[in-house]
């Protein structure tokens, strides 16, 4: 599951890596170059896109360790390895997206639900978590 590719945001940012995703969508929000992204992660996101037949928006994918710290992420965040993305899908609730991602990842990968998005990662072990605010 650790099939991470390295892209240059400046040189390859507009490069299409699947039918529905480009390199720049996975770039760290601080604008640094390079961009690390797992082919397996991209494949899962593409499968989610096809399942719902709706755009998948990436809120956050690769993060440098410095940017991850600013975002309050844990030091071992899968984002810092290019293995994770926080997503939302047009017209679908986080609960719906979580259920599909959980089913697709099976006994591997991480899936976390938040109030407005879903975290998806392709770590080798299974991890599931719920960070929705309790009402």
pLDDT band at 134 (very low <50, low <70, confident <90, very high): confident
CA–CA separation, 89 and 118 (whole Å): 9
Judging by beta carbons within 10 Å of its beta carbon (0-12, 13-18, 19+), is residue 89 exposed, middle or buried? buried
- Residue 113, pLDDT > 60, answer yes
Tell me the fold of 4-130: Muramoyl-pentapeptide Carboxypeptidase; domain 2 (3.30.1380)
Could you read off the pLDDT of 21-69 as tens digits, one per residue?
Answer: 999 999 999 999 999 999 999 999 999 999 999 999 999 999 999 999 9
Q: How confident is the model at residue 135 (pLDDT cuts 50, 70, 90)?
A: low
Q: Domain map of the chain by residue range?
A: 4-130
Task: Check residue 30 and report its DSSP letter.
Answer: T
Three-state SS for 60? strand
**CB distance 4 to 82 below 8 Å:** yes
68, 44 contact by CB (below 8 A): no
Is 1 a residue whose pLDDT tops 90?
no
CA distance 13 to 25: 8
């Amino acid at each position: 599951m650790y099939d991470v590719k390295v892209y240059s945001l400046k040189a390859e940012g507009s490069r299409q890596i699947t039918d529905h995703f480009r390199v720049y969508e996975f770039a760290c929000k601080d604008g640094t170059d390079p961009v690390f992204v797992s082919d397996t992660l991209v494949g899962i996101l593409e499968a989610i896109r096809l399942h719902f037949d709706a755009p998948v928006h990436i809120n956050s994918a690769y993060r440098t360790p410095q940017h991850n710290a600013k975002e309050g992420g844990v030091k071992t965040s899968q984002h810092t390895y290019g293995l994770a993305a926080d997503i939302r899908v047009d017209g679908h609730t986080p609960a719906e997206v979580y259920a599909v991602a959980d089913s697709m990842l099976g006994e591997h990968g991480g899936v976390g639900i938040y109030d407005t998005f879903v975290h998806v990662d392709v770590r080798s072990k299974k991890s599931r978590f719920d960070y929705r605010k309790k009402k």
